[in-house]
């Protein structure tokens, strides 16, 4: 599978995703420690790249830290608890569905298991060899989850529904965006 990664992100910032995970954990009475949030962000960005054929979930930079992969801006902002910033409460439906799948699969895993999954990626290992805080590209992240034997396949993680026409042909459904394409009369 070739991953082309020069497309824009589907969410405007990484904080929206971080708040989504934090709020979901809170709603389920689960403590979301900072390291676990970092692993979930890394996993979500990587799987999104695979599932959405190179699209970025969020504009974020992931670096290799000795503790594991991390997004340093989100890490600093959450270092003393939940930051007081405006975040988007309503994410696009497709993004929320995807994040729900990620949470369902990984959200209840202990941090040790998430560390094993993320630290075994070639993206993390190669970045760590380059030095502390070396960046990982989106393409490296996506490819590394395709190769990672510790991580489940993207098809297992996401619950992509196959919709069919009345004649039974599978179709891909996208959200309607008013004004995106003008019809000729």
Inform me whether the pLDDT recorded for 185 exceeds 60.
Answer: no
Average of per-residue pLDDT across 129-133: 94
Per-residue model confidence as pLDDT tens digits over 58-94: 999 999 999 999 999 999 999 888 888 887 778 999 9
Which of the four pLDDT bands, split at 50, 70 and 90, describes residue 162? very low
Contacts with 147 (C-beta within 8 Å, 6 or more apart), sequence order: 122
H helices of the chain, in order, are 14-27, 34-51, 72-77, 93-106, 111-119, 122-130, 138-147, 154-157
Angle, alpha carbons 150-153-159 (nearest 5°): 135
pTM above 0.75, yes or no: yes
Inform me whether the pLDDT recorded for 183 exceeds 60.
Answer: no
Please tell me the predicted confidence (pLDDT) of residue 81.
85
Among the ranges given (28-37, 127-136, 144-153), the one the predictor scored with the smallest mean pLDDT:
144-153
Contacts with 133 (C-beta within 8 Å, 6 or more apart), sequence order: 63, 64, 65, 72
**123, 99, 109, 93: which is closest to 51 by C-alpha?**
99
Q: Where are the domains of the chain?
A: 14-160
What does the DSSP assignment read for 144-176? Answer: HHHH-SSSPPHHHH-----EE-TTS-EE-----
Please tell me the predicted confidence (pLDDT) of residue 27.
95
First-to-last alpha carbon distance for the chain, in angstroms, is 40
**20, 35, 30: which is closest to 75 by C-alpha?**
35
Residue 181 region by backbone torsions, left for phi larger than 0, else alpha for psi between -120 and 50, else beta = beta
Average pLDDT, the chain: 85
Please tell me the predicted confidence (pLDDT) of residue 87.
78
Average of per-residue pLDDT across 109-120: 95
Please tell me the predicted confidence (pLDDT) of residue 167.
64
């Amino acid at each position: 599978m070739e991953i082309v990664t020069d497309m824009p992100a589907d969410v405007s910032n990484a904080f929206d995703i971080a708040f989504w995970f934090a709020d979901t954990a809170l709603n389920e009475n689960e403590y979301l420690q900072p390291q676990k949030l970092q692993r979930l962000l890394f996993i979500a960005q990587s799987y999104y790249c695979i599932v959405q054929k190179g699209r970025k979930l969020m504009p974020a930079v992931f670096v290799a830290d000795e503790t594991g992969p991390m997004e340093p801006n989100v890490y600093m902002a959450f270092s003393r608890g939940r930051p007081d910033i405006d975040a988007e409460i309503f994410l696009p439906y497709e993004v929320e569905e995807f994040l729900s799948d990620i949470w369902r699969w990984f959200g209840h895993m202990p941090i040790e298991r998430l560390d094993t999954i993320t630290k075994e990626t070639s993206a993390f290992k190669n970045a760590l060899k380059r030095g502390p805080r070396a960046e990982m590209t989106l393409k490296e992240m996506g490819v590394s989850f395709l190769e990672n034997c510790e991580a489940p396949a993207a098809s297992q993680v996401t619950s992509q529904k196959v919709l069919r026409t009345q004649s039974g042909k599978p179709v891909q459904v996208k959200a309607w965006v008013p004004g995106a394409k003008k019809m000729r009369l």
